[in-house]
Amino acid sequence: MARLIKREEISKTTRIKVMAIAILLAFVVAGIFLAILGYEPLSVFGSMIKGSFGSIYRVRQTIIRAIPLVIASIGISVAFKMLFWNIGGEGQIFMGALGAALVALNMPNLSKPVLLLLMLVASIVLGGLWALLSGILKVYFNTNETIITLMLNYIALKFITYLQYGPLRDKKAMNFPKIPNFSDNAILPKLFNIHIGWIFAIIIVIVFYFVMKHSKLGYEISVIGESHNTARYAGISINKTILKAIFISGALCGIVGFIQASAVSGTLSTEITGGVGNTAIIIAWLSNLNSIVILIVSVLFAALLEGGNYIQTAFGIPNAAASVIQALILFFVLGSDLFMRYKISFRRNE
């Protein structure tokens, strides 16, 4: 018989070993899948790497795709650290983008630094307040935050859809349902031919690391995540800390909305999130809520997505097949978490 036994301690060596085996198995299974379809697996995998890092242009595209993943994953991690399951990253990104868009469309002639700063502040406030709704309901009415944050995603999406087809519809777009493009003053500048969102991402990674490791707020969040009773014994104001952390979580996702609307789309639309809020949940979990690891995993995840897009063009692989390859890799990597936390024990039947 075989049974799972929970590991008392998970060493770094064990984590690396299990993760390496999982990635190897993922590529083996994905290779078999490609071979069945009639493709050469090694050529396809090589092209995925080439599609992500094969040139300066492709490296830039991978970084651009990684930027929102890094920031959103850290935002999600703030809530996850205290076991508040914030599944509402998508909605918070939408509301952050809405805040940026309202400023950009109503004050287009402000100087660039002032306009961008106001857009950033608006995105932080709207994203934070949108997340705070679920925190208030959890603290004062003991609702299920998973369901509330998930439902708020759909409300945010439908509200943006209403604005796109109604009040904010561009009258110059020949009846096409779109929101007007931002003025040049509302577009984030570039550094090294990449929009400066990458600077935001690096700053947030560093700040989050030190806040969680060396600040009172980080200590309080970690203690609440371990035990509410311990937090009470330590004199921590649990409700206040939860609300504060949830606002920060939503605010960080709101910053993603600002960056995507300003630097990538140049406007507000229902496609602004690109599934970043949902992907961030996976990245935060894979990274064990560590900001430095989040940065690395986000880049690798962005490379996987960029490589998946590239092989569709290079080999004519259907989009569905490319998605299956990505899903297989994710399935094995996520599944490896079970073997990090538990070990298999075999024993004979007497």
Contacts 24+ apart (CB under 8 A), 6-14: 6/341, 6/342, 7/340, 7/341, 7/342, 7/343, 10/340, 10/341, 14/340
User: How high is the pLDDT of residue 18?
Assistant: 84
Mean pLDDT of 181-192: 95
Mean pLDDT of 253-263: 97
Q: CA 274, CA 307: separation in Å to the nearest integer?
A: 17
Q: CA 170, CA 268: separation in Å to the nearest integer?
A: 11
Structure tokens given for 126: 């709207």
Q: CA 129, CA 254: separation in Å to the nearest integer?
A: 10
Mean pLDDT of 14-20: 82
Mean pLDDT of 7-25: 82
Structure tokens given for 115: 């306009």
pLDDT higher than threshold 60 for residue 350: no
Three-state DSSP class for residue 98 = helix
How many CB atoms neighbour CB 108 within 10 A? 14
User: How high is the pLDDT of residue 13?
Assistant: 80
Buried/exposed code over 128-154 (b: 16+ C-beta within 10 A; e: otherwise) = bbbbbbbbebbbeeeeebeebbbebbe
Mean pLDDT, the chain, rounded, equals 92
Nearest CA among 83, 59, 62, 76 for reference residue 255: 76
pLDDT digit string, tens, across residues 287-346: 889 999 999 999 999 999 999 999 998 888 888 888 898 888 888 888 888 888 787 777
pLDDT higher than threshold 70 for residue 78: yes
Nearest CA among 48, 113, 90, 86 for reference residue 247: 86
User: How high is the pLDDT of residue 349?
Assistant: 58
Structure letter (DSSP) for residue 267: S
Structure tokens given for 156: 């945010």
User: How high is the pLDDT of residue 348?
Assistant: 64
pLDDT higher than threshold 70 for residue 219: yes
pLDDT higher than threshold 90 for residue 14: no
pLDDT higher than threshold 80 for residue 218: yes
Q: CA 127, CA 97: separation in Å to the nearest integer?
A: 8
Q: CA 267, CA 216: separation in Å to the nearest integer?
A: 38
Q: Cβ neighbours of residue 271 under 8 Å, at least 6 residues apart? A: 265
User: How high is the pLDDT of residue 1?
Assistant: 67
The residue ranking higher by pLDDT, 69 or 328, is 69
Q: Cβ neighbours of residue 129 under 8 Å, at least 6 residues apart? A: 95, 247, 250
**Bridge partners, residue 342, by sequence:** 6
Mean pLDDT of 61-88: 96
The residue ranking higher by pLDDT, 288 or 141, is 141
User: How high is the pLDDT of residue 326?
Assistant: 84
Mean pLDDT of 147-161: 97
Q: Cβ neighbours of residue 198 under 8 Å, at least 6 residues apart? A: 63, 67, 191
The residue ranking higher by pLDDT, 120 or 314, is 120
Nearest CA among 274, 261, 259, 246 for reference residue 87: 246
User: How high is the pLDDT of residue 314?
Assistant: 87
pLDDT higher than threshold 90 for residue 149: yes
For the chain, percent of residues with pLDDT exceeding 70:
99
pLDDT higher than threshold 60 for residue 100: yes
Contact indicator for 15, 345 with CB cutoff of 8 Å: no
Query: How far from chain centre, in Å, is Cα 50?
Result: 24
Structure letter (DSSP) for residue 181: P
User: How high is the pLDDT of residue 17?
Assistant: 84
C-alpha distance from residue 227 to each of 82, 237, 242, 321 (Å): 9, 13, 13, 44
Whole-prediction pTM: 0.93
User: How high is the pLDDT of residue 142?
Assistant: 93
Instruction: For residue 71, give the H/E element and its range.
Output: helix 56-80
User: How high is the pLDDT of residue 16?
Assistant: 81
Mean pLDDT of 220-236: 92
Three-state DSSP class for residue 344 = strand
Structure tokens given for 12: 């770094």
